[in-house]
Amino acid sequence: MENCIFCKITKGEVPCDKIYEDKDFFVFLDASPVYDGHLLIVPKEHIVWMQEADDETISNIFILTKKIMLAMKKAMECDYVEESVVGEEVPHFHIHLIPRYFNVKFPKLPRKKYKDGESSLVAKKLIEAL
Protein backbone atom coordinates (compact mmCIF):
# COMPACT_ATOMS: atom_id res chain seq x y z
CA MET A 1 0.00 0.00 0.00
CA GLU A 2 1.61 3.22 -1.10
CA ASN A 3 0.69 5.40 1.91
CA CYS A 4 1.48 2.82 4.59
CA ILE A 5 4.39 3.94 6.78
CA PHE A 6 5.30 0.33 7.65
CA CYS A 7 5.40 -0.65 3.98
CA LYS A 8 7.68 2.32 3.36
CA ILE A 9 9.91 1.27 6.27
CA THR A 10 10.22 -2.33 5.04
CA LYS A 11 11.12 -1.06 1.55
CA GLY A 12 13.83 1.24 2.93
CA GLU A 13 11.98 4.40 1.92
CA VAL A 14 11.73 5.61 5.53
CA PRO A 15 14.71 5.25 7.89
CA CYS A 16 14.48 3.13 11.01
CA ASP A 17 16.64 1.18 13.44
CA LYS A 18 16.36 -2.27 11.88
CA ILE A 19 16.78 -5.19 14.26
CA TYR A 20 16.03 -8.14 11.97
CA GLU A 21 14.84 -8.88 8.46
CA ASP A 22 14.06 -11.99 6.47
CA LYS A 23 12.06 -12.57 3.29
CA ASP A 24 8.70 -12.27 5.08
CA PHE A 25 9.18 -10.06 8.15
CA PHE A 26 10.83 -6.85 9.29
CA VAL A 27 11.66 -5.93 12.90
CA PHE A 28 12.55 -2.38 13.96
CA LEU A 29 12.59 -0.13 17.01
CA ASP A 30 9.46 1.85 17.69
CA ALA A 31 10.26 5.53 17.10
CA SER A 32 8.16 6.50 20.15
CA PRO A 33 8.90 3.70 22.59
CA VAL A 34 7.22 3.00 25.90
CA TYR A 35 10.63 1.78 27.14
CA ASP A 36 14.04 1.47 25.49
CA GLY A 37 14.02 -1.58 23.25
CA HIS A 38 10.30 -1.37 22.40
CA LEU A 39 10.08 -2.77 18.89
CA LEU A 40 7.66 -3.76 16.16
CA ILE A 41 7.44 -6.92 14.09
CA VAL A 42 5.62 -6.49 10.77
CA PRO A 43 4.98 -8.75 7.82
CA LYS A 44 6.46 -7.31 4.65
CA GLU A 45 3.21 -8.07 2.87
CA HIS A 46 0.64 -5.35 3.51
CA ILE A 47 -1.96 -6.98 5.75
CA VAL A 48 -4.25 -4.61 7.63
CA TRP A 49 -5.58 -6.94 10.34
CA MET A 50 -4.13 -10.09 11.84
CA GLN A 51 -7.26 -12.07 11.01
CA GLU A 52 -6.67 -11.31 7.32
CA ALA A 53 -3.29 -13.08 7.36
CA ASP A 54 -2.97 -16.68 6.24
CA ASP A 55 -2.20 -19.36 8.81
CA GLU A 56 1.42 -19.73 7.71
CA THR A 57 2.06 -16.01 8.24
CA ILE A 58 0.44 -16.16 11.67
CA SER A 59 2.51 -19.20 12.69
CA ASN A 60 5.76 -17.78 11.40
CA ILE A 61 5.32 -14.32 12.91
CA PHE A 62 4.75 -15.84 16.35
CA ILE A 63 7.74 -18.18 16.02
CA LEU A 64 9.82 -15.09 15.17
CA THR A 65 8.18 -13.19 18.04
CA LYS A 66 9.41 -15.81 20.52
CA LYS A 67 12.94 -15.60 19.10
CA ILE A 68 12.95 -11.80 19.37
CA MET A 69 11.46 -11.92 22.88
CA LEU A 70 14.30 -14.16 24.10
CA ALA A 71 16.87 -11.80 22.58
CA MET A 72 15.10 -8.78 24.08
CA LYS A 73 15.06 -10.31 27.56
CA LYS A 74 18.80 -10.90 27.31
CA ALA A 75 19.73 -7.58 25.69
CA MET A 76 17.52 -5.32 27.77
CA GLU A 77 17.94 -7.28 31.01
CA CYS A 78 14.20 -7.03 31.55
CA ASP A 79 12.03 -9.21 33.77
CA TYR A 80 9.68 -10.18 30.93
CA VAL A 81 8.49 -9.03 27.52
CA GLU A 82 4.99 -7.79 26.89
CA GLU A 83 3.48 -8.60 23.51
CA SER A 84 0.61 -6.70 21.95
CA VAL A 85 -1.06 -7.20 18.58
CA VAL A 86 -2.61 -3.98 17.42
CA GLY A 87 -3.34 -2.16 14.22
CA GLU A 88 -5.39 0.87 15.04
CA GLU A 89 -2.76 3.59 14.79
CA VAL A 90 -1.13 2.15 11.65
CA PRO A 91 -3.34 0.01 9.41
CA HIS A 92 -0.75 -2.73 8.93
CA PHE A 93 -0.70 -5.89 11.07
CA HIS A 94 2.08 -5.55 13.62
CA ILE A 95 3.22 -6.88 16.95
CA HIS A 96 4.64 -4.64 19.67
CA LEU A 97 7.28 -6.16 21.95
CA ILE A 98 7.95 -4.11 25.05
CA PRO A 99 10.59 -4.93 27.68
CA ARG A 100 8.98 -4.83 31.11
CA TYR A 101 10.35 -4.51 34.62
CA PHE A 102 8.55 -5.59 37.78
CA ASN A 103 9.42 -2.37 39.60
CA VAL A 104 7.98 -0.06 36.90
CA LYS A 105 4.24 0.49 36.61
CA PHE A 106 2.72 0.31 33.14
CA PRO A 107 1.17 1.96 31.10
CA LYS A 108 1.21 5.11 33.19
CA LEU A 109 4.56 6.26 31.82
CA PRO A 110 4.25 8.37 28.67
CA ARG A 111 5.92 7.27 25.48
CA LYS A 112 9.30 8.81 24.90
CA LYS A 113 11.55 9.82 22.03
CA TYR A 114 15.07 8.47 21.71
CA LYS A 115 17.83 11.05 22.08
CA ASP A 116 20.29 11.41 19.19
CA GLY A 117 22.26 8.20 18.74
CA GLU A 118 20.47 6.42 21.59
CA SER A 119 18.30 4.22 19.37
CA SER A 120 21.36 2.94 17.50
CA LEU A 121 22.93 1.75 20.76
CA VAL A 122 19.73 -0.03 21.80
CA ALA A 123 19.38 -1.57 18.33
CA LYS A 124 22.99 -2.82 18.47
CA LYS A 125 22.37 -4.57 21.80
CA LEU A 126 19.28 -6.29 20.43
CA ILE A 127 21.00 -7.35 17.20
CA GLU A 128 23.95 -8.78 19.13
CA ALA A 129 21.57 -10.80 21.34
CA LEU A 130 20.08 -12.50 18.28
For the chain, the maximum distance between any two Cα atoms, rounded to a whole number of angstroms, is 42
Instruction: For residue 128, tell me if it sits in a domain.
Output: no
Q: Which of 46, 92, 94, 96 is catalytic?
A: 94
Q: What is the CATH number of the domain that holds 117?
A: 3.30.428.10
Indicate if 38 belongs to the active site.
no
Q: Tens digits of per-residue pLDDT, 14-65?
A: 999 999 999 999 999 999 898 899 999 999 999 999 999 999 999 999 999 9
Task: Count the neighbouring beta carbons within 10 Å of the beta carbon of residue 42.
Answer: 22
Instruction: For residue 129, tell me if it sits in a domain.
Output: no
What range does the domain containing 62 cover?
5-122
Instruction: For residue 21, tell me if it sits in a domain.
Output: yes
Residues 6+ apart with CB under 8 A from 90: 4, 5, 6
Nearest to 38 by CA among 117, 119, 92: 119
**Total structural domains within the chain:** 1
Instruction: For residue 108, tell me if it sits in a domain.
Output: yes
Q: Tens digits of per-residue pLDDT, 58-95?
A: 999 999 999 999 999 999 999 999 999 976 789 999 99
Q: Amino acid identity of 63? A: I
